[in-house]
Amino acid sequence: MNNEVCKVSNLSISFGKQEVLKDINLSINKGEVFGFLGPSGAGKTTLVKAIAGLQPINNGEVEVLTRKMPTLSLSEKIGYMAQSDALYQDLTALENLQFFSSLYKLNRIDRKKRIHEVMELVNLSEHLHKPVQQFSGGMKRRLSLAISLIHNPEILILDEPTVGIDPLLRKSIWQELKALSQSGTTVIVTTHVMDEAEKCDRLAMIREGKLLAVGSTEDLQRKTGTTSMEDAFLTFGGATV
């Protein structure tokens, strides 16, 4: 059975003269937690934006759920959380969630139920009526995560999801991402943190717009004869992340 939900073929993307992604080929399977690991500026954000359909493509192709990206028709099936939070500061958490959920076809009762579920999940239930401008950085990240989950997407794309989040909550968010993947959601994350990379089922190592390697942590360590992701990354040609 073909489990592929995303296929990137010969993808290249340039900004002016700078080629930031160079001939990327990879595929992502349904229900896996797939990570993009690489140092700052490697091209991770550009790549996940291309997968989310938010980034024009110069060469090659990105297919998601057998559709060629970018396409608007998949917005119901993809949840995307950007690196910087896109929240309305003057509105409360609830009002933000209501606004974003109104973009999807959820009826009022489902919407209310789902808002409570996602707020519970990110541990923000007691702050539902607080204006976002009073939130800490970590709380804003968690609210952004809740918003990306509001429509129960098949594919969840998270750009550096746990930046600014304390270790305890980071752990609970990772548990939740794992649970989502076990229930069939495909989770795609970017990170430059090695211990987070190790939590992914498979990883793509990226440096200077090039794909260095793809595989599970075990695969990548076995191939390089190393015992840590840091050493594996260095062996594949990456600088320190």
Ligand X SMILES: Nc1ncnc2c1ncn2[C@@H]1O[C@H](COP(=O)(O)OP(=O)(O)OP(=O)(O)O)[C@@H](O)[C@H]1O
* Binding residues vs ligand X (CB under 6 A): 15, 20, 38, 40-46, 83, 192
Residue 56 C-beta: closest distance to ligand X, Å: 10
Give 82 or 128: the residue with its C-beta nearer to ligand X.
82
Residue 68 C-beta: closest distance to ligand X, Å: 21
Residue 109 CA neighbour count, 13 Å, CB half:
0
- The neighbour count for residue 82, using CB atoms within 10 Å, is 17
Give 19 or 117: the residue with its C-beta nearer to ligand X.
19
Amino acid at residue number 117: E
Residue 66: which of 77, 54, 79, 80 has the closest Cα? 77
Residue 155: which of 43, 59, 60, 69 has the closest Cα? 69
Residue 236: which of 189, 40, 23, 226 has the closest Cα? 226
Residue 55 C-beta: closest distance to ligand X, Å: 9
Give 4 or 230: the residue with its C-beta nearer to ligand X.
230
Spatial contact of 117 and 176, defined as CB atoms under 8 Å apart: no
Residue 75 C-beta: closest distance to ligand X, Å: 21
Give 40 or 240: the residue with its C-beta nearer to ligand X.
40
What is d(CA 179, CA 202) in angstroms, rounded to the nearest whole number?
16
Residue 131 C-beta: closest distance to ligand X, Å: 28
SS3 226: coil
Give 151 or 207: the residue with its C-beta nearer to ligand X.
207
Amino acid at residue number 119: M
Residue 79: which of 157, 145, 146 has the closest Cα? 157
Give 114 or 199: the residue with its C-beta nearer to ligand X.
199
What is d(CA 229, CA 6) in angstroms, rounded to the nearest whole number?
24
Residue 52 C-beta: closest distance to ligand X, Å: 13
What is d(CA 99, CA 205) in angstroms, rounded to the nearest whole number?
36
